Amino acid sequence: MKYLNKIEEILKKWGTKYKGCTSNQINSIEQEIGTKLPLCYKEFLENFGYDMDRKDDYSRGGFVGESIFYDNIYGNHTNKDGLLEQLQEDGKTSLISQVNDNVFVFFSSQGYIFAFFKLDEGENPPVYGYVEGQEKNSFPKLTNSLLEFFELYLEDGKSPFNNLKL
Give 33-79 pLDDT, tens digit per residue. 999 999 999 999 999 998 877 665 555 567 777 888 899 999 888 99
| pLDDT classification of 9: cutoffs 50, 70, 90 | confident
Above 70 in pLDDT, residue 28?
yes
Above 70 in pLDDT, residue 163?
yes
Above 70 in pLDDT, residue 5?
yes
- What pLDDT is recorded for position 114? 97
Above 60 in pLDDT, residue 166?
no
Phi-psi region of 124 (alpha: psi -120 to 50; beta: other; left: phi over 0): beta
Fold designation for 5-154? SMI1/KNR4-like (3.40.1580)
129 within 8 A of 142, measured Cβ to Cβ: yes
Query: For the whole model, what pTM was predicted?
Result: 0.92
The helix/strand/coil state of 98 is: coil
| pLDDT classification of 138: cutoffs 50, 70, 90 | very high
Q: For all residues of the chain together, what is the average pLDDT?
A: 90
- What pLDDT is recorded for position 150? 93
- What pLDDT is recorded for position 91? 95
Of the candidates 72, 67, 59, 93, the residue with the CA atom closest to the CA atom of residue 29: 72
Using CA atoms, how far apart are residues 49 and 73, in angstroms rounded to an integer?
Answer: 10
Tell me the domain boundaries of the chain. 5-154
135-138's contacts with Cβ under 8 Å and 24+ in sequence apart are 135/165, 135/166, 136/165, 137/92, 137/94, 137/95, 138/95
